[in-house]
Structure formats: C-alpha cells, structure tokens
Amino acid sequence: MKRPKVPGVCIFCGRRPVTAEHLWPQWIGRLLPRQVPEAPVHAQNQFQRRALPQGGEFSSFHNRHARGPVRARKIRKVCGPHCNGGWMSRIEDRAAGVLTPLIQGQGVLLGRDDLRLIANWAVLTSIIGEYSDPNSAAIPPADRDALMLAWTQAGGIDADVMQTLTSGWIVEVGAREAAVNWNPTYAHVAATWVPRGEPVAGAKLNTQTTTLSVGHFVVRAASSKYELVLPRDRHAAGLVQIWPNTPDGLQWPAGPILSAESTEWIGNILRRSPVGMP
C-alpha cells in the first residue's frame, strides 16, 4: 500500500489526526531513577560511499545516536484511537510485563512467546524511532503494514508476525552492566546497500540497525532488503538472537554481560565492520 506523505497522517493506517507518541513509553520512564542530568546527545552524520570487500557498496549512510532527551521525545506520526491507543498499546502492555524484569536486571525464564513479543516490540519501536528523523527511514512501508495487520486482524503474537515482515530482520537481546546513568539510549544507523551488479543511482536506504538500551536491557533490531550477516565479534558475544530461530526458552541473563563499550559498539556495527552478504 502506498500512501501520500501528507503531514498529520498516521504512518500505519493513514487515519488522522495524529497524536504525540512517546518513543520511550511511559511505563519505562516509571522504572528508571530520576537522576539523569546528562547532556543531550544527538548526532547525525552522512557518510561517503564505500565499496564492500565482497562487491557492491554502501552509500548515503546516516547515523543517529540520541541519548537523554529521548525519554521525553515525542513523535507525531501515529493516530490515537486506532494505532497508538489500539493495537500498539496491546503490544506495549504485554511488553511492559515481559521487559520490566530485564530492564531491572532480574533473573527470569523467558518463554518462546515472551521472546516473540520482544521481537515485535523491537520492530515497532524501530519503526517509530525512524520517524524521529524521516530522512533516515530505511524500513519499508510494507513492514509497517504487516505489523499492523498482524495485530489488528490476525491475532497479534499468535499470528507469527515476524514471518509476515518483508525485510530480513535479525533481533538480538542482551543484558548490560549496571548503567552509569539510566538514560535510555537509541542508536540508529541506516544505509543503502547496493549489491554488486545493481545500479547505484536512485537506490534508497534499505538497511538499518536500531539498538535500544534501557536499564540492564539491550535489544538490537537489524533489517535489510537483503539477507544480513552481522559480525559475531567479541562485542556481540553477549547478544542472543531471538529472531529468526527463536529459542524455545531463555534463562535470563543469557550471555556474557555487555559492557558500556560493547553496547555502543554493537549499535554502530554498520559503520564499523563490513556486513556480509551471502
């Protein structure tokens, strides 16, 4: 479905008016201590083209890294009753129950449905997050449609939502060390990935990673028009993949605890390491 880019129209369903949606939902704000006098960080960079060792190239490279004020940031791109107060709040309400112990650093056994719900939440938050800077949006509209349809018409988490998304997604979670500050961090890198032999001219952003850190919890949701292979370097050792190949269960925390350095590193992986294409 193609919709005109008219301001004030819901990016999911096309309804109006839109309301202010928090990137970080209110329930997360209530979990965090209030001593967060950190300077706002908001960086945007654009990178030159670079060739990939396996052929093709990255171009039109955007990076956003935001801290601090993201908790208060609102994005006016979603309608009230149908989306924000409807199917999205059903995701948020369920996610709040699953994510609260992870954010607070408690040990817990996560079931398969919990992991699928976390993946859904990460995709939703990635989509909303991109609209804090629409120029960097690399997730296709078809994925917005698929997420909404799954939650409005097909039974939500029971609908195998992730299967219906058109992009190749990789969602990974990790536990991070006690935060020096408790600001949620949002890191987004978007890129145009042009495989060998395909025309570069006119190619659009088609690959992105969104990394959300809040309390002791980190999730990285990567998507691409092409099949992504993200490097498993030492920084990524603390990440556990929950999509695709969702485990049946996961004892939390699941891997080595992520340091602050590793958390920062994995959020910027598209800038730092060549991604792979099979």
- Span near Zn ion by CB under 5 A; candidates 11-19, 171-179, 212-220, 257-265: 11-19
- Min dist. Cβ of residue 165 to Zn ion (A): 18
Residue with smaller CB distance to Zn ion, 15 or 90? 15
Alpha helices (runs of H) in the chain, residue ranges in sequence order: 26-31, 88-103, 112-130, 141-153, 161-164, 260-267, 269-272
- Span near Zn ion by CB under 5 A; candidates 58-66, 76-84, 105-113, 224-232: 76-84
**Distance between CA atoms of 76 and 115, rounded to whole angstroms?**
28
Q: What angle do CA 92, 95, 99 make, to 5 degrees?
A: 135
**Distance between CA atoms of 79 and 66, rounded to whole angstroms?**
24
**Distance between CA atoms of 184 and 125, rounded to whole angstroms?**
13
> For 158, which DSSP code?
G
Query: Tokens for 170?
Result: 């990789």
- Min dist. Cβ of residue 179 to Zn ion (A): 33
- Should residue 18 be labelled a site residue for Zn ion when binding is judged by CB under 5 A? no
- Min dist. Cβ of residue 95 to Zn ion (A): 19
- Should residue 83 be labelled a site residue for Zn ion when binding is judged by CB under 5 A? yes
- Should residue 90 be labelled a site residue for Zn ion when binding is judged by CB under 5 A? no
- Should residue 252 be labelled a site residue for Zn ion when binding is judged by CB under 5 A? no
Question: Per CB under 5 A, which of residues 40..69 are in contact with Zn ion?
Answer: none
Query: Considering only CA atoms, which of 130, 141, 21, 156 is closest in space to residue 83?
Result: 21
- Should residue 12 be labelled a site residue for Zn ion when binding is judged by CB under 5 A? yes
- Should residue 79 be labelled a site residue for Zn ion when binding is judged by CB under 5 A? yes
Residue with smaller CB distance to Zn ion, 7 or 278? 7
Query: Considering only CA atoms, which of 250, 258, 239, 257 is closest in space to residue 114?
Result: 250
Q: Which residues of this protein are in contact with Zn ion, per CB under 5 A?
A: 10, 12-13, 15, 79, 82-83
